[in-house]
Chain A
Amino acid sequence: GAGVSQSPSNKVTEKGKDVELRCDPISGHTALYWYRQRLGQGLEFLIYFQGNSAPDKSGLPSDRFSAERTGESVSTLTIQRTQQEDSAVYLCASSLVLAGNQETQYFGPGTRLLVL
């Protein structure tokens, strides 16, 4: 079946504008994650959704960042009033949850965000 898809693949925006990034997880995967990866760095956890539970937002770097998920499908990550330091690749992943444990995370291709 199809993997995790993300859109857009690239986004260039001006400082101060809002951006919305989209993630379509693998069908049937109840867990969805957003990560950020700055150039040459590892992954930085942002937010986690699991079923109908309250999302774990502990990784969001500021109140300019928010995310939503519709049921167990699409998720959108919104960055308001973008800053140059928001420039990064934003990666989405989804996984099954079996017996309370998260299984392999499958990553989308990412959205490369550049804030000018």
Chain B
Amino acid sequence: SQQGEEDPQALSIQEGENATMNCSYKTSINNLQWYRQNSGRGLVHLILIRSNEREKHSGRLRVTLDTSKKSSSLLITASRAADTASYFCAPNAGGTSYGKLTFGQGTILTVHP
């Protein structure tokens, strides 16, 4: 398995603003997944983007994937205080890595009301 590296480490914005988080990884992937974690518990799956996809939307979330640069970004539009959480990316090489997900330190997003 490989670890995704999220950037920035922390992001502080006002409600209504957009938040962009980036993820870089090192080797080929089958898919890349983004997760959110509140208060150190409850990892929630947000979105999965496959290696043959370049962009995917889900509600206020937009994920892009650039396999040539081995990077992905997560955009949250019109942020809300409830979006305050840690966000992690998980590159999934599939195959013999058995889908083991290794998370980095994540991006801590704080949305101020």
Contacts and interface: CB of A to CB of B under 8 A. Distances in A.
A55 to B, nearest CB: 10
Contacts of B43: 43, 91, 93, 107
Contacts of A68: none
Interface string A75-110: 000000000000001010101010011111111011
Interface stretch (B10-18, B59-67, B70-78, B96-104): B96-104
B6 to A, nearest CB: 9
Interface residues of B, number: 26
Contact of A104 (B3, B48, B88): B48
B41 interface: yes
A44 B1 CA distance: 11
A45 B90 CA distance: 12
Contact of B100 (A59, A89, A91, A104): A59
A52 interface: no
Given A89-B40, A107-B42, A112-B41, A101 B99 contact: yes
A31 B94 CA distance: 13
B45 A31 contact: no
B103 A95 contact: no
29 contacts: A31-B99, A33-B100, A33-B101, A35-B101, A37-B40, A42-B88, A42-B102, A42-B103, A42-B104, A43-B88, A48-B99, A48-B100, A89-B40, A93-B43, A93-B101, A97-B99, A100-B94, A101-B95, A102-B92, A102-B94, A102-B98, A104-B33, A104-B48, A107-B35, A107-B42, A109-B41, A109-B42, A110-B41, A112-B41
